[in-house]
Amino acid sequence: MIIGKVMGSVVATRKNANLVGQKLMIVQPINGDKTDSIVAIDNIGAGIGEVVLVATGSAARIGCGHEKAPVDAAIVGIVDDAEQVESLISK
């Protein structure tokens, strides 16, 4: 699982049928640089600027409830509080 910050959203008018109606967000891993950003499906309503938990691989498909969708990353939680997260974000 990855801790990341939501940096923005993605709009794709043409996409796989299993992704229609799904919200896609750009997430920057806390310990990465801006080139490490990933696109994650968001079924929990995360907003830009929030710190989130992201599941990847097959856990992402299970976590978002779309086992047949072409999903490699899913936001599965919004971080309310965590030790050292603030110091990692400010780097």
pLDDT-wise least confident of 2-6, 10-14, 47-51, 69-73: 69-73
Residue 71 has pLDDT above 70, yes or no: yes
Top-level class of domain 2-89 = mainly beta
**pLDDT surpasses 80 at 19:** no
Across residues 34-59, what is the average pLDDT? 89
CA separation for the pair 5, 13 (Å, rounded): 24
- Name the residue with higher pLDDT: 46 or 61: 46
What is residue 88's predicted lDDT score, i.e. its pLDDT?
Answer: 60
* pTM (two decimals): 0.80
Strand partners, 10: 24
Higher confidence at residue 18 or residue 91? Answer: 18
What per-residue confidence (pLDDT) applies to 83?
A: 66
Q: Write down the pLDDT at residue 72.
A: 86
